[in-house]
Amino acid sequence: MNSKAVLDQLTDIVTPEQINTNEADLYEASADRYKKYAKTRKALDVPAPVAIVYPASVQEVSALLKFCNRERINVIPRAGMTATEGGLENWKDTTLVIDTLKLDKILKIDPYNSQATVQAGVPLQVLEDELRKIGYTTGHSPQSKPVAKFGGLVATRSIGQFSTLYGGIEDMVVGLECVFPDGYVSRIKNVSRRAGGPDIRHVVIGNEGALCYITEVTVKIFKYFPENNKFYGYLVKDVESGLKVLREVMVNGFRPSVARVYSEEDAAQHFYHFHDGKCVLLFMAEGPKGIADATGDAIEEAVRTHQDGILSQVDSQLISDWFDNLNWSQQDIDDEFEEMRTSDSHAGYTTEISADWETIPAIYTSVMARVKAEFGRVEDLTMLGGHSSHSYLNGTNMYFVYNYKIHCAPEDELLVYHHPIQKIIVEETLKHGGSMCHHHGIGKFRSEWTKDEHGTAFYMLEKLKEAFDPNGIMNHGTIFPTDEIRKYIYQEE
Ligand SMILES: Cc1cc2nc3c(=O)[nH]c(=O)nc-3n(C[C@H](O)[C@H](O)[C@H](O)COP(=O)(O)OP(=O)(O)OC[C@H]3O[C@@H](n4cnc5c(N)ncnc54)[C@H](O)[C@@H]3O)c2cc1C
């Protein structure tokens, strides 16, 4: 079906005001932050979608998906547009972006049962602000909180800065509503726990728009006790010393809301006023007073246990102030784009992985060594480091961060710079038995390794795709590897 016919038929489903064909908006919709440099330089190599559509009800989402399924039109679900891994990038000639803009209602805040229900287009910050008025919090605080919306947060399996206490989004989602490509609407009911077969929430959480469209989400909400917050900061000898303290706190059964260690290079970016060229270890404890105090005591005890790795303690106010300024607003995102229009450099590319306590230091060390030895443009790197920011009883994550000067055409940047570094990180992680993506999702640019990530369990993922999206209309190229990888990643004809 050609673009004109698609647009004609769309008006049978939604009003003309719900269909956006503005050229600048379609260009914006053709890729996400993965290609932010090429995007700002107007050098994107992917097709633009035919239109962005704004359904206002689950019935309209259902009708749109049915239409796309029948006509084999690729669908990219879209929410807050903060995706970082190509989940919003378009690799098909005929694509509709279905945006959650008009699914913007908070449906219920229910403090007695500690849950809130929202439509998929509600920004996290909006629900958080409402909850704070009554002394509650979502407990979810990704850096993208001011911009990201519930549909995207659930679809990417996102995680927030206070995850060590509250968990990732998968620990918060109670129930949800979603629509499959054939238009079928499924509602997963809100209960505290059940043993009714496999937990089907997990078919939806993390599907990245490649299986279904999320229209409504119910999440847990938590009582908020900011008056009890406690902050701790230390300079430490090396990353491994910091990891030992993080582990000690976790395996002793404590749950600080924040537990992080930064490499020297990464600490220099964040804590320029006190890092002193060293690694930084920091914690935040929160909750009811007794719990926050006990957690704080446990942190101090763990620091004493591993004092051979601790160089000095940092004023806790510095850590508290740092947290107050961590989130990114839409203005920050726009400013970054604006800066890239004129500067030939890239700051803050990341690849986040996870593994058990024993393995994380080994991955960190081998990635650092391999990038320095093998990356062809190592002289252009202006920073290479990382931090661990989400810890569990049995392990933690590592968020590799790299900045570089760009000496190539904008359309070649990813292949010349980002991809070779990411490839080393993914290869080393998989070789050591870790997971190649801790919280940003696979998107399109890690899909070449999806099979290696899952091994024999890829069978289950593949069957889900075949069962729910047999015509392959949902976010083509996302999670599941496709031939376009050769064209859009390796630039082969
Ligand atoms: C500055 C910044 C900071 C970030 N910090 C964090 C962080 O701390 N933690 C973290 O986990 N991530 C972080 N991210 C990554 C990103 O914000 C998260 O992945 C977020 O969850 C995406 O939500 P969104 O609403 O922006 O979704 P979008 O970017 O619009 O979409 C993301 C993906 O979800 C799919 N999708 C969107 N809506 C739906 C829907 N209704 N149904 C089905 N699929 C859908 C899209 O197709 C796409 O694949 C950050 C990103 C930025 C730019």
pTM: 0.97
Give 82 Cα–ligand 1 centroid separation in angstroms. 5
Degrees (nearest 5) of the Cα angle 297, 303, 309?
175
Q: Which atom of ligand 1 is nearest to the CA of 77?
A: 47
Distance 441 CA to ligand 1 centre (A): 9
Cα of 10 to ligand 1 centre, how many Å?
26
Atom 14 (ligand 1) nearest CA: 144
Domain with residues 226-324, CATH architecture: 2-Layer Sandwich (3.30)
- Mention every residue, 6+ apart, whose C-beta is less than 8 A from residue 130: 106, 109
CB 399 within 8 A of CB 389: yes
pLDDT in tens, 437-483: 999 999 999 999 999 999 999 999 999 999 999 999 999 999 999 99
pLDDT of residue 289: 98
Place of tokens 């889900």: 464
Q: 448: which residues sit within 8 A by CB, 6+ positions away? A: 481, 485, 489
* Closest atom of ligand 1 relative to the 475 alpha carbon: 47
Query: 101: Cβ–Cβ under 8 A, 6 or more apart, which residues?
Result: 54, 121
Residue to mutate, 144, 163, 171, 450, ligand 1, most ligand atoms under 8 Å from C-beta: 144
For 133-189, write each residue's pLDDT tens digit. Answer: 999 999 999 999 999 999 999 999 999 999 999 999 999 999 999 999 999 999 999
- CA triplet 111, 168, 448: central angle to 5 degrees? 145
Q: Whose CA is nearest to atom 48 of ligand 1?
A: 87
For ligand 1, atom 28, the nearest C-alpha belongs to 81
**Domain boundary assignment for the chain:** 3-99, 106-223, 226-324
Distance CA 58, CA 265 (A): 47
CB 219 within 8 A of CB 174: yes
Question: How many angstroms does the Cα of residue 81 sit away from the middle of ligand 1?
Answer: 6
Residue 79 exposure: Cα atoms within 13 Å on the Cβ side: 31
Crossing angle for the helix pair 58-71 and 3-10, nearest 10 degrees? Answer: 150
Q: Say how many Å lie between the CA of residue 255 and the centre of ligand 1.
A: 25
Q: What is the pLDDT of residue 340?
A: 80
Give the residue, by CA position, lying nearest to ligand 1 atom 31.
152
Give the position, in ligand 1's atom list, of the atom nearest the Cα of 158: 11
Residue 192, pLDDT score: 96
Give the pocket of ligand 1 (CB within 6 Å). Answer: 33, 76-84, 87-88, 100, 120, 142-144, 148-149, 151-153, 155-156, 158-159, 208-209, 213-214, 328, 439-440, 475, 478
Task: Select from 61, 76, 82 the residue to mutate for testing ligand 1; criterion: most ligand atoms less than 8 Å from CB.
Answer: 82
Antiparallel, parallel or unpaired: β 258-262 and 213-220 = unpaired
Nearest residue (by CA) to ligand 1, atom 8, is 142
Of 343, 214, 232, 328, which Cα lies nearest the Cα of 283?
Answer: 232
CATH class of 3-99: alpha beta
Q: How far is the centre of ligand 1, averaged over its atoms, from the C-alpha of 79 (Å)?
A: 7
- Can you give the pLDDT at residue 227? 97
Domain 106-223 class in CATH? alpha beta
Per-residue model confidence as pLDDT tens for the chain (493 residues):
899 999 999 999 999 999 999 999 999 999 999 999 999 999 999 999 999 999 999 999 999 999 999 999 999 999 999 999 999 999 999 999 999 999 999 999 999 999 999 999 999 999 999 999 999 999 999 999 999 999 999 999 999 999 999 999 999 999 999 999 999 999 999 999 999 999 999 999 999 999 999 999 999 999 999 999 999 999 999 999 999 999 999 999 999 999 999 999 999 988 988 999 999 999 999 999 999 999 999 999 999 999 999 999 999 999 999 888 777 777 877 777 778 878 887 777 899 999 999 999 999 999 999 999 999 999 999 999 999 999 999 999 999 999 999 999 999 999 999 999 999 999 999 999 999 999 999 999 999 999 999 999 999 999 999 999 999 999 999 999 999 999 999 988 7
CA of 83 to the centre of ligand 1 (A): 4
Which strands make up the sheet holding 279-285, listed edge to edge? 310-314, 230-236, 279-285, 258-262, 381-388, 395-405, 345-356
Long-range contact pairs involving 244-248 (C-beta distance under 8 Å, separation at least 24): 244/306, 244/309, 245/281, 245/302, 245/303, 245/305, 245/306, 245/309, 245/310, 246/281, 246/388, 246/391, 246/396, 247/357, 247/391, 247/396, 248/302, 248/305, 248/306
Rounded Cα distance, 436 and 372, in Å: 20
Q: Is 342 exposed, middle or buried (0-12, 13-18, 19+ CB in 10 A)?
A: exposed
Parallel, antiparallel or unpaired: strands 95-99 and 74-78: parallel
